[in-house]
Amino acid sequence: MDKLLIQGGQPLHGEIRISGAKNSALPILASTLLADGKVSVGNLPHLHDVTTMIELLGHMGVELMIDERMSVEVDSTTINNLTAPYELVKTMRASILVLGPMVAHFGEAHVSLPGGCAIGTRPVNLHLQGLEQMGAEIQVDSGYIHAYAPQRLKGAHIFLDTVTVTGTENLMMAAALADGVTILENAAREPEVVDLADCLNAMGADVRGQGTATIEIHGVERLNPCHYDVLPDRVETGTYLTAAAATKGHVLLKDTREDILEAVLIKLREAGAEVNTGADWIELNMHGQRPRAVNLRTAPYPAFPTDMQAQFVAMNAVADGTGSVTETVFENRFMHVQELIRMGADIGLEGNTAIVRGVDRLTAAPVMATDLRASASLVIAGLVAEGETMVDRIYHIDRGYECIEEKLQLLGATIRRMPS
Ligand code: EPZ
């Protein structure tokens, strides 16, 4: 397995471009199954998860082309296999996103149940209950979800008792071709949900209220070809800003957006960062100062994102003071804590709260990535630790961060990949 070797101690300085959002690219690529004809998706990040989704669509017989703008053109009219197999789904839970479009457009779907993952059990019961409310027949056996809609799905009034991002996305996609109106109550408000809704409307769907907790979808007969560029990745943006804060640096991030991670910018300013923003750029400057510890509590958007929790624990680990970090979305998303403690961090876990007492310095150590965002926090710790940190199992990182070592090198970090 590839490893990253990071020589700590240099503040990050410079400017980089932010890539398209992984968590927008995945549902939007799945949504191409809804259209009659070619849909091209642009600003896709070159990530392992995106490759897996493209591989999954290819497995189903869908024709894919990469055009001269590096957009992926998907034509679902050639689909000949309505199965998302275990071999692919086990490597990427977001494969569940093909379920709604397949049932809605082709009346049938066989999707391997995504297992749990490092951060939690992550059930998909709300996806299935919503589809049943829309008239799909769902059977789950030998690890597969079998869904049938012999008649066209029907609009339904669905209350989601937990805010679920991909649950909202799956049901929104299914509702786009249903007969009648679907209302999703307690829907997810993430910018990636809004991006998917805007893409569906570009195909001719009639989705309203995206970005609020109540989304109304007026089903249409068919969806048409279109081109759509996915929005910038707010978690990649937040990760590099937090790395700059932890290393007392000064960075400029381009091709991003200021309005999709406000809770994170507020916390970075609380930590003492000077943050300036424009429509498509964000600048952070620590003026050489050590960050101040911050308290935070994760929750669904627009609150502080769970996908930024591990990165802030790493920043708090070297901050001035003590910060408490409470995780309310997933039940087991503190795997990075033990690894950070091995680097000299002073962190106590009390239930779903990490109490982080800032230390003057971390020391390099061999550490192991356990999940995507935990691995980002270990990279941040390596950037501030004294000595050379080796981060193992970085395939987790490659799932969500495009060219991470190149981008960090552009920001002045001493980091290199060591092929296994
Ligand atoms: C999406 O996962 C993201 N993935 C995750 O990003 C992100 O952490 C998460 O939303 C929360 O923001 C993609 O968008 C591809 P959920 P998702 O359904 O949709 C419970 C990353 O790092 N739940 O919003 O799977 C669930 O157990 C990844 O990029 C049910 O109980 O998350 C969790 O506690 C990690 N039943 C909570 O809801 C369901 O049917 C939120 O999960 C569905 C979810």
Nearest CA to ligand 1 atom 10: 165
Q: Which domains does the chain have, with CATH numbers?
A: 3-19+232-418 (3.65.10.10), 22-229 (3.65.10.10)
Q: Is 329 annotated as a binding residue?
A: yes
SS3 label, residue 242: helix
Q: Is 199 an active-site residue?
A: no
Residue 192 CA, closest ligand 1 atom number: 14
Q: Is 204 left (phi over 0), alpha (psi -120 to 50) or beta?
A: left
* 63 secondary structure, DSSP code: E
Residue 173 in contact with residue 220, Cβ under 8 Å? no
Beta bridge partners of 73: 40, 65
Q: What is the pLDDT along the chain (420 residues), one digit of tens a residue?
A: 889 999 999 999 999 999 999 999 999 999 999 999 999 999 999 999 999 999 999 999 998 998 877 799 999 999 999 999 999 999 899 999 999 999 999 999 999 998 777 788 789 999 999 999 999 999 999 999 999 999 999 999 999 999 999 999 999 999 999 999 999 999 999 999 999 999 999 999 999 999 999 999 999 999 999 999 999 999 999 999 999 999 999 999 999 999 999 999 999 999 999 999 999 999 999 999 999 999 999 999 999 999 999 999 999 999 999 999 999 999 999 999 999 999 999 999 999 999 999 999 999 999 999 999 999 999 999 999 999 999 999 999 999 999 999 999 999 999 999 987
Residue 190 CA, closest ligand 1 atom number: 12
Q: Is 22 annotated as a binding residue?
A: yes
Catalytic position from the list 117, 199, 226, 403 = 117
- Please tell me whether the overall predicted TM-score, pTM, comes out greater than 0.75 for this model: yes
Ligand 1 geometric centre to CA of 306 (Å): 10
Which residues approach ligand 1 with their CB closer than 6 A? 22-23, 26, 94, 120, 122-127, 162, 164-167, 306-307, 329-330, 372-373, 400
Nearest CA to ligand 1 atom 38: 164
